[in-house]
Amino acid sequence: MDLGLDGKVVLVTGGSKGIGLACARAFAAEGAKVAIASRSQENLDRAREELAKEGVDAFAVAADLTRAEAASAMAAAAEKALGPIDVLVNSAGAAKRHALEEYDSHAWHHGMEAKFFPYVHAMDAVRPGMIERRRGAIVNIVGTGGKRGQPTHLAGGAANAALMLVTVGWANALGRHGIRLNVINPAATYTGRVQQALALEAKAQNVSEAEALKRLEAAIPLGRYGHPEEVAAVAVFLASDKASYVSGAVIPMDGAALPII
């Protein structure tokens, strides 16, 4: 199936590992020119080396997306190297989880700075060019923590909820300029970030991490966590010509764990 992505320029924030790296691979497989961004140059170097072994030549740029000027510089560098950005995939940042007694001003601010502002700044950086060209697709990877109040994830969950609102709001405002925005809501996915959540869950239940994982997966109707490649496949579809009338959607990928609409 031709998804119309051959030669398109795709910028993936958080593209050095996990879901972001899986997205970079998936878009490259469709013939897109891929740029990956991360705060860590070391992680970027490792990701580029890994992708190069697979025959993918990705452009990499280090950027601290909590700063608006860094996001603008990131977008400018990617466009100088590859051309105008057609697709932005936001997968950068993850707010730390906290025990109840740890919530303070720092925890709340960190939740927004780790997740909300990096996505918003990246969208701000690519939006003027997309408006000028009257085309563009933005896919925001936003965890299901924004839909339910988990005691250890309230700060990050609040940031996720805010991002979903911003995404659908921009979809409504920017559709007239040929720009589509959508959200993918993955639940627990097999990435390095899962370990932190498992450790806290195991501590809360006073069980081993292996037992905590077993219990968590047992609560998922499909019986397992998702995989980064599965999320990436949906991101590729949403950015493609095949999803040309899909905008403002929030798509759950939680194995039917949250029976809500």
Tell me if 198 is assigned to some domain: no
pLDDT at 153: 75
CATH number for the domain that contains residue 117: 3.40.50.720
Torsion of CA 35, 41, 47, 50, to 10 degrees: 120
Tell me if 244 is assigned to some domain: yes
pLDDT digits (tens, 9 = 90+) for 14-23: 999 999 999 9
Higher pLDDT, 15 or 115: 15
pTM: 0.90
Tell me if 89 is assigned to some domain: yes
Burial of 88 (0-12, 13-18, 19+ CB in 10 A): buried
Residue range 63-81: mean pLDDT, rounded: 97
Tell me if 101 is assigned to some domain: yes
The count of structural domains within the chain is: 1
What DSSP assignment string belongs to 145-196?
Answer: GGTS--GGGHHHHHHHHHHHHHHHHHHHHHGGGTEEEEEEEE-SBSSTTHHH
Distance CA 63, CA 36 (A): 10
Tell me if 78 is assigned to some domain: yes
Task: Residue 129: name the closest of 95, 84, 176, 62 by CA.
Answer: 84
Residue range 177-190: mean pLDDT, rounded: 92
At 140, is the secondary structure helix, strand, or coil? Answer: strand
Tell me if 259 is assigned to some domain: no
Question: What is the identity of the amino acid at 86?
Answer: D
pLDDT band at 30 (very low <50, low <70, confident <90, very high): very high
Tell me if 39 is assigned to some domain: yes
Q: Of 27-41, 107-121, 141-155, 216-230, which gets the smallest average pLDDT?
A: 141-155
* Domain encompassing residue 126: 9-190+226-253
Tell me if 204 is assigned to some domain: no
